[in-house]
């Protein structure tokens, strides 16, 4: 892996140990700006204040309190005023707990830096660094920006925040800066990156990139720019909210009119209508949706997938097909020497040594690097030889040759295309046919094959590259192996009903070998070429038939990826596409979820993508889908809770006053209930874990709730409404006063909230258990303590009242859910049928 260095930033190499001068620092600060890696726009406190002020409950309480004060009811006004304080505190807590941001990532950034300037060492805020600064970073410290290592002492670095790999990375000082016309390629081993930290040793680095131009900062800063696209779920929520608002307006008007006609007066009518309006106001739905998206953004960032548009969190959970690049995503993106086939009487170690003689170390050539890596791992030393002449690889010759002197003997070694090696070697026809078949065999297994040959030179050699008379040494097979964990991730996708199609420019046989290794498709995976795909679809062939069982598209061009995405979308698939180059931009834009590579991806690819991967790993995509699916399920559970609890809340608040009874809920009671509903909907259901690594999505239509789920919620809501009305009527019918009946209704709703929470979460998390216990405890505190009950216009309940509320709530919730689960239980045969 290499990164380009603009030469105007590097200056002389190695840099001046005295560091930059003050004038140079000021000039560079003007040119490049501050080292503001993770900018947070605006004031967090201002953002918090605006968010809290947007809560309609606050303004409702303020308005009603002012109304009571104007009418002389000072105690009521004071009670409602005090009720605002815990509500504001709760809003502030929920905002800080669930806001959509990547501020948690700031823990990976250095706050100060030890820098050399004007010949002295200074400790300055990291934001003041500029390109060209010399910075010392000790063990335990984070790198403050991206730079090239000038010197190091035993430096090992934790780069897991960028790569996802837990093991330390050994860093090396850059001996010399390669020169080019405008920029130089520097290998990652010489780079230090912002957001990573030193485990052992120490380093001195020259800063090259600061702020948004750092790898870490650029990706994170691009992640905070949120798009405005509306998803199907957003449109559904908007329609639901509009319907509920219209219904609430009609109910409020009717209730106010009826209360006046019943002779309760305009104040009662106004308070009744306002109370019902707040109870029926569906602000929780968009608030919960936004909060869940924010939580999704943060959790995906923790899984090394940075979301550029929060609404993508919803779509990532719906993905049904992944079109994935091969190199660097499904595979390591690095060649390994995995096969050595030595000729007779030549040990494999000798073949590896000969190949090493004709392979240059540290040139960036992946094949040469793989040979030397294999030699280092084997423990065999490279012979002490003198290089006499080198003939580099060219496309016309298709080989590289070196002439060396070893122990006074001249010999030449050559490495290149296997057919060239065979033609240059003295082999019988039988041996030539044998090695040709071995070449085909190794190539069909997905290897890139090179041949190696050698010969001694006599004193008659006067120069020039020897091109015949070689002794064939054997074959070398190179392969880009699958990334660790990819086969398991592919299997998880298969079990979850997610289709994977590998898109690669490699030969079909190479694609077939990788597909087999990672478990993609059947025993004999079906591979098609990009050209065949284009021709078939352009000629009107049925896409469903042509693409059936296809697991890879080989020899694919960017245009072929675009055609594939459009064909899959036409078949109803929700498609995620990976890409890293400018030529991938059309496919990334066309996909439902465009996923750019954070390490090797271009800026253009990152800007149009919905999600940026920090580690370019297929496992991260699967983990992101798993997180999205579970968050989507949790959001459904939260909405189910809201609908189930609001049905009895709103209906009883409307029906009982319409029937001529005194107001059931006063404004303070709405505060009580909303203080339970808001944190339960926002906090409890966020925490629910997945039951499997990647849960399967049922083969239903794209609606948020199915008909059976709507029927379940309506049934539970209706039963709870009957429970509240019956409890209220029971208390009034026994000659008890209205405060006692009101307490019975409030306790019934509180127990209903706890029962719904327990049933939907199965009490799997601490937060769920806490909210269930806190709901009941709060009801006991507010109702059974007489001074508090008097302020809330309720009366303490008897033991039998509590039994009716608790047992009734559990029965109304658990019985319908048990029936529903029995009806919707999917048999193994049905699952197999759905997969087929």
Share of the chain above pLDDT 70, in %: 80
Measured distance CA(637)–CA(631) in Å, rounded = 10
**Residue 458's pLDDT band (cuts 50, 70, 90):** confident
**Residue 669's pLDDT band (cuts 50, 70, 90):** confident
State the average pLDDT over residues 63-71.
Answer: 64
Measured distance CA(668)–CA(39) in Å, rounded = 41
**Residue 621's pLDDT band (cuts 50, 70, 90):** confident
- 225-300+625-831 folds as Calcium-transporting ATPase, transmembrane domain (1.20.1110)
Give the lowest-confidence range in 98-102, 449-453, 548-552, 624-628: 98-102
Domain 305-332+483-616 CATH assignment equals 2.60.40.1840: no
pLDDT in tens, 181-198: 667 778 878 899 888 889
Return the closest-CA partner of residue 271 out of 666, 829, 658, 628. 666
DSSP 81-134: HHHHHHHHHHHHHHHHHH----GGGGGGS-SEEEEEETTEEEEEEGGG--TT-E
Which backbone phi and psi does 327 adopt, to 5 degrees?
A: -70, 125
Task: Evaluate if residue 283 carries a pLDDT over 70.
Answer: no
Look at strands 169-170 and 409-416 and give their pairing: unpaired
Task: Evaluate if residue 388 carries a pLDDT over 70.
Answer: yes
Q: Rounded to 5, what percent of the chain is helix, strand, coil?
A: 55, 15, 30
Which range, 114-118, 541-545, 815-819, is most confident?
114-118
**Residue 229's pLDDT band (cuts 50, 70, 90):** very low
Tokens of 806: 């608790």
- Comparing 516 with 734, which gets the higher pLDDT? 516
In this prediction, residue 773 carries a pLDDT of 94
- The total number of residues written for the chain in this structure: 836
Beta-carbon contacts of 504 under 8 Å, excluding residues fewer than 6 positions away, are 325, 326, 327, 510, 511, 514, 552, 553, 554, 556
14: cis peptide before it, omega within 30°? yes
Whether residue 775 contacts residue 835, with contact meaning beta carbons closer than 8 Å, is answered with: no
Give me the residues paired with residue 337 across strands. 478
Return the closest-CA partner of residue 645 out of 290, 291, 279. 279
State the average pLDDT over residues 65-79.
Answer: 64
- Comparing 665 with 101, which gets the higher pLDDT? 665
Beta-carbon contacts of 128 under 8 Å, excluding residues fewer than 6 positions away, are 29, 34, 35
Measured distance CA(319)–CA(708) in Å, rounded = 23
SS3 500: strand
**Residue 692's pLDDT band (cuts 50, 70, 90):** low
Task: Evaluate if residue 89 carries a pLDDT over 70.
Answer: no
Return the closest-CA partner of residue 37 out of 241, 178, 210. 210
Tokens of 763: 């009490």
pLDDT in tens, 199-215: 888 999 999 998 878 87
Task: Evaluate if residue 715 carries a pLDDT over 90.
Answer: yes
Q: How many CB atoms lie within 10 A of CB 409?
A: 11
CATH number of 336-479: 3.40.1110.10
State the average pLDDT over residues 658-662.
Answer: 79
In this prediction, residue 830 carries a pLDDT of 46
Tokens of 648: 């009895």
State the average pLDDT over residues 682-706.
Answer: 66
Return the closest-CA partner of residue 336 out of 261, 175, 447. 447
Start-to-end CA span in the chain (Å): 42
Whether residue 152 contacts residue 128, with contact meaning beta carbons closer than 8 Å, is answered with: no
In this prediction, residue 567 carries a pLDDT of 92
Q: At CA 215, angle to CA 193 and CA 162, rounded to 5?
A: 65
Which backbone phi and psi does 393 adopt, to 5 degrees?
A: -70, 135
Beta-carbon contacts of 527 under 8 Å, excluding residues fewer than 6 positions away, are 508, 511, 512, 515, 550, 551, 552, 553, 554
SS3 364: coil
Task: Evaluate if residue 217 carries a pLDDT over 90.
Answer: no
**What is the rounded average pLDDT for all residues in the chain?**
80
3-state secondary structure 373-440: HHHHHHCCCCCCCEEEEEECCCCCCCEEEEEEEECCEEEEEEEECHHHHHHHECCCHHHHHHHHHHHH
Instruction: Classify residue 89 as exposed, middle or buried by CB count within 10 Å of its CB (0-12, 13-18, 19+).
Output: exposed
In this prediction, residue 683 carries a pLDDT of 85
Look at strands 550-554 and 499-503 and give their pairing: parallel
pLDDT in tens, 121-148: 999 999 899 999 999 999 889 999 999 9
Measured distance CA(612)–CA(486) in Å, rounded = 19
**Residue 616's pLDDT band (cuts 50, 70, 90):** confident
Beta-carbon contacts of 488 under 8 Å, excluding residues fewer than 6 positions away, are none
State the average pLDDT over residues 669-683.
Answer: 83
Measured distance CA(111)–CA(108) in Å, rounded = 10
In this prediction, residue 228 carries a pLDDT of 42
In this prediction, residue 828 carries a pLDDT of 42
Helices 284-302/232-261 angle, 10° precision: 150
- Comparing 224 with 766, which gets the higher pLDDT? 766
Measured distance CA(193)–CA(104) in Å, rounded = 18
**Residue 166's pLDDT band (cuts 50, 70, 90):** very low
Torsion sign across C-alpha atoms 585, 586, 590, 591 = negative
pLDDT in tens, 306-364: 776 666 777 788 888 999 888 778 888 788 898 999 998 899 999 999 999 998 876 66
Domain 2-40+105-213 CATH assignment equals 2.70.150.10: yes
Task: Evaluate if residue 753 carries a pLDDT over 90.
Answer: yes
In this prediction, residue 224 carries a pLDDT of 47
Q: How many CB atoms lie within 10 A of CB 509?
A: 16
In this prediction, residue 770 carries a pLDDT of 93
Measured distance CA(311)–CA(318) in Å, rounded = 12
Whether residue 177 contacts residue 13, with contact meaning beta carbons closer than 8 Å, is answered with: yes
Measured distance CA(457)–CA(459) in Å, rounded = 7
Measured distance CA(422)–CA(398) in Å, rounded = 12
Alpha carbon 218 to its chain centroid, in Å, reads 16
**Domain spans in the chain, listed from the N-terminal domain onward:** 2-40+105-213, 44-100, 225-300+625-831, 305-332+483-616, 336-479
Give me the residues paired with residue 148 across strands. 191, 206
**Residue 662's pLDDT band (cuts 50, 70, 90):** confident
In this prediction, residue 61 carries a pLDDT of 59
Give me the residues paired with residue 576 across strands. 322, 593
Share of the chain above pLDDT 90, in %: 26
Measured distance CA(160)–CA(169) in Å, rounded = 10
Q: At CA 12, angle to CA 6 and CA 16, rounded to 5?
A: 125
Q: How far is CA 680 from CA 37, 284, 581, 675, 813, in A?
A: 36, 11, 44, 9, 17
């Amino acid at each position: 892996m290499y990164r380009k260095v603009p030469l105007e930033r590097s200056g002389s190499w190695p840099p001046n140990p005295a560091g930059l001068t003050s004038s140079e620092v000021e000039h560079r600060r003007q040119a490049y700006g501050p080292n503001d890696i993770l900018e947070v726009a605006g004031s967090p406190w201002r953002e918090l204040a605006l968010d809290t002020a947007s809560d309609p409950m606050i303004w409702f309480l303020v308005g009603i309190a002012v109304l009571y004060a104007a009418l002389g009811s000072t105690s009521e006004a004071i009670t409602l005023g005090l009720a605002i304080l815990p509500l504001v505190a709760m809003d502030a807590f929920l905002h800080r707990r669930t806001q959509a941001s990547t501020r948690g990532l700031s823990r990976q950034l250095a706050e100060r830096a030890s820098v050399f300037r004007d010949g002295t060492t200074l400790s300055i805020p990291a934001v003041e660094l500029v390109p060209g600064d010399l910075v010392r970073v000790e063990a335990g410290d984070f790198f403050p920006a991206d730079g090239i290592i000038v010197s190091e002492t035993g430096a090992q670095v934790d780069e897991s925040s960028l790569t996802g790999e837990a093991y330390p990375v050994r860093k090396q000082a850059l001996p010399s800066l390669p020169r080019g016309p405008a920029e130089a390629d520097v290998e990652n081993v010489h780079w230090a990156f912002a957001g990573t930290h030193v485990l052992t040793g120490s380093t001195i680095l020259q800063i090259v990139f600061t702020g948004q131009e750092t790898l870490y900062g650029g990706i994170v800063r691009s992640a905070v720019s949120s798009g405005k696209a509306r998803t199907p779920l957003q449109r559904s929520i908007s329609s639901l909210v509009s319907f509920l608002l219209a219904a609430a307006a009609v109910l409020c008007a009717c209730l106010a009119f009826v209360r006046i006609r019943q002779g309760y007066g305009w104040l009662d009518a106004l308070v009744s209508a306002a109370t019902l309006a707040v109870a029926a106001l569906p602000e929780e739905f968009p608030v919960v949706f936004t909060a869940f998206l924010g939580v999704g953004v943060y959790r995906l960032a923790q899984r090394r997938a940075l979301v550029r548009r929060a609404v993508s969190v919803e779509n990532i959970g719906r993905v049904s097909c992944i079109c994935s690049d091969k190199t660097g995503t499904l595979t390591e993106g690095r060649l390994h020497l995995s096969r050595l086939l030595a000729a007779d009487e030549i040990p494999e170690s000798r073949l590896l040594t000969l190949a090493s003689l004709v392979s240059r170390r540290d040139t960036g050539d992946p094949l040469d690097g793989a040979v030397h890596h294999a030699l280092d791992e084997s423990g065999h030393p490279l012979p002490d030889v003198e290089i006499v002449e080198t003939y580099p690889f060219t496309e016309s010759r298709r080989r590289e040759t070196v002439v060396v002197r070893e122990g006074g003997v001249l010999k030449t070694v050559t490495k290149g295309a296997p057919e060239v090696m065979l033609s240059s070697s003295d082999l019988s026809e039988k041996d030539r046919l044998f090695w040709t078949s071995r070449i085909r065999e190794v190539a069909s297994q997905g290897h890139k094959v090179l041949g190696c040959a050698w010969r001694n030179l006599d004193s008659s050699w006067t120069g020039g590259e020897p091109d015949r008379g070689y002794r064939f040494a054997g074959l070398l097979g190179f392969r880009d192996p699958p990334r660790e964990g990819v086969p398991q991730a592919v299997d998880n996708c298969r079990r979850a009903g997610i289709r994977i199609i590998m898109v690669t420019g490699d030969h079909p046989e190479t694609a077939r070998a990788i597909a087999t290794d990672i478990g993609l498709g059947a025993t004999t995976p079906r591979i098609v070429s990009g050209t065949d795909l284009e021709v078939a679809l352009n000629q009107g062939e049925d896409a469903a038939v042509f693409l059936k069982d296809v697991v890879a598209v080989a020899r694919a061009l960017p245009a072929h990826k675009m055609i594939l995405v459009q064909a899959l979308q036409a078949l109803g698939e929700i498609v995620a596409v990976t890409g890293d180059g400018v030529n991938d931009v059309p496919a990334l834009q066309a996909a439902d979820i465009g996923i750019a590579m954070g390490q090797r991806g271009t800026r253009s690819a990152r800007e149009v993508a919905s999600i940026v991967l920090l580690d370019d790993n297929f496992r991260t995509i699967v983990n992101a889908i798993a997180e999205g699916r579970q968050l989507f399920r949790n959001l459904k559970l939260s909405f189910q809770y809201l609908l189930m609890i609001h049905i009895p809340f709103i209906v009883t608040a409307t029906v009982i006053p319409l029937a001529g009874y005194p107001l059931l809920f006063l404004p303070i009671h709405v505060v009580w209930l909303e203080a339970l509903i808001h944190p339960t909907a926002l906090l409890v259901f966020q925490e629910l874990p997945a039951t499997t690594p990647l849960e399967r999505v049922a083969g239903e239509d794209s609606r948020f709730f199915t008909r059976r789920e709507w029927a379940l919620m309506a049934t539970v809501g209706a039963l709870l409404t009957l429970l509240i009305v019956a409890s209220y009527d029971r208390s009034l019918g026994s000659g008890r006063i209205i405060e006692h009946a009101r307490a019975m209704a409030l306790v019934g709703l509180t127990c209903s909230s706890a029962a719904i929470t327990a049933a939907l979460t199965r009490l799997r998390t601490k937060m769920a258990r806490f909210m269930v216990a806190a709901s009941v405890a709060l009801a006991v505190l507010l109702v059974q303590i007489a001074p508090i009950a008097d302020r809330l216009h309720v009366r303490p309940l008897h033991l039998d009242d509590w039994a009716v509320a608790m047992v009734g709530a559990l029965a109304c919730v658990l019985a319908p859910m048990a029936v529903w689960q029995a009806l919707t239980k999917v048999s193994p045969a049905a699952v197999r049928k759905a997969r087929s």
